[in-house]
Amino acid sequence: MKASVIGATGYAGAELLRLLTGHPQVELAYITSESSAGEKITAMYPHLKDHVELELASLADLDKVAAASDVIFAALPQGHAMKIGKALRGKQVKFIDLSADYRFKDISVYEKWYKIKHEDPETKAVYGLTELYRDQVKGAQIVANPGCYTTTSILALVPLLKAGLIETEGIVIDAASGTTGAGRSLKMGSLYCEVNENYKAYGVATHRHTPEIEQIYSEFAGKPVVLQFTPHLLPLDRGILATCYAMLKPGVTAAQVNDAFQTLYGREYFIRLRGQGACPELKNVRASNFVDLGWQLDARTGRVIVMSCLDNLVKGAAGQAVQNMNVLFGFPENTGLKQLPVYP
């Protein structure tokens, strides 16, 4: 089958090229970039040398791209994918969007948090957190691939919300991401000497992944969840770890917590339950599509603390997109995604 990648020159786009090149069923059709159309991708990413020797095309060619592709991935900034989704709606080609444009059921939430007018409110997409929505993904034309912080956070607490073991009030998610999350654009704050040996919070009380997490939490809790989400910037390349705090409902036991995770994830290939007392580490999932989960109960405070981590460019972006592609096309879900984490 043929796949194209729109916005191939960002880190998520390049990661898609790496993963798709290793996928046994996929051949790359087009890769595009508006700023670098006409150049070879290897001029920007020499690590792909000899293996992705494609020239970057322009999006002006969207119809041609669509005609030549079974699936199109878009790794673009917010506000751009909706134009492509609108143009592709109803066509044969599948569309997997890595931006936030199609993630929200309530368009007004998107418009409020992203401060962008949505140009394609009619199109219905499926939210592609594969482990939770794989049945819906199967029949979708457009898949809204979840955000990186979002995937990490959602997978951490959904089992407990679904099982009704935690209070829906008072949830705090304190998360930290590697710097690939900031992309490859030229920003002072992304310079080596600014990030290295440094650590800080950002987007406190205002980060856009907040309402996306709330949307899914609310769905599984069966009632509205409002939560605190604080991201931090880590001096490393890849990985997100979320430390999630929730109040246990009175009387809930460690065994019930364990059962909730086992019930929902016990058979998931990509989710590895490290269990109670374990503290998952970023490096144990690096460059892979795995998610590691651990948790701890605190009798003094009545809380459960769930820690969840993944590689933001893989399970948090390109890897989950390929996982969704596998679902869409009926391949085993881990096809092309079985590589073990790279350690150390």
Count of residues of this chain found to bind a second copy when the rule CB under 8 A is applied: 81
Q: In this complex, which beta carbon is closest to a second copy, that of residue 67 or of residue 191? A: 191
Per CB under 8 A, the segment of 63-71, 72-80, 104-112, 279-287 that binds a second copy is: 279-287
Task: State the minimum distance, in angstroms, from the CB of residue 85 to a second copy.
Answer: 28
Per-residue x/- track, 289-328, a second copy (CB under 8 A): ---x---xxx-xx-x-x-x-x-------------------
Selected binder of a second copy within 58, 190, 258, 335 (CB under 8 A): 190
Q: How far apart are the first and last CA of the chain?
A: 34
* Residues of this chain, 50-69, that bind a second copy according to CB under 8 A: 50-52
What pairing do the DSSP bridges indicate for beta strands 271-276 and 56-57?
Answer: unpaired
Q: In this complex, which beta carbon is closest to a second copy, that of residue 144 or of residue 264? A: 264
Q: How large is the greatest C-alpha to C-alpha distance in the chain, in angstroms?
A: 63
What is the rounded CA–CA span in Å between residue 224 and residue 214?
8
Task: State the minimum distance, in angstroms, from the CB of residue 116 to a second copy.
Answer: 20
Which candidate, 271, 282, 280, places its Cα nearest to that of 232? 282
Task: State the minimum distance, in angstroms, from the CB of residue 132 to a second copy.
Answer: 20
* Residues of this chain, 70-89, that bind a second copy according to CB under 8 A: none
Selected binder of a second copy within 3, 4, 5, 11 (CB under 8 A): 11
Position 133 contacts a second copy (CB under 8 A): no
Question: Across the beta sheet with 172-177, what order do the strands follow?
Answer: 200-201, 228-233, 172-177, 240-247, 303-310, 291-298, 271-276
Tokens of 313: 């460019």
Selected binder of a second copy within 35, 38, 46, 135 (CB under 8 A): 46
Question: Across the beta sheet with 56-57, what order do the strands follow?
Answer: 56-57, 27-32, 2-6, 71-74, 94-97, 142-144, 126-127
Position 228 contacts a second copy (CB under 8 A): yes
- Which residues are annotated as catalytic? 148
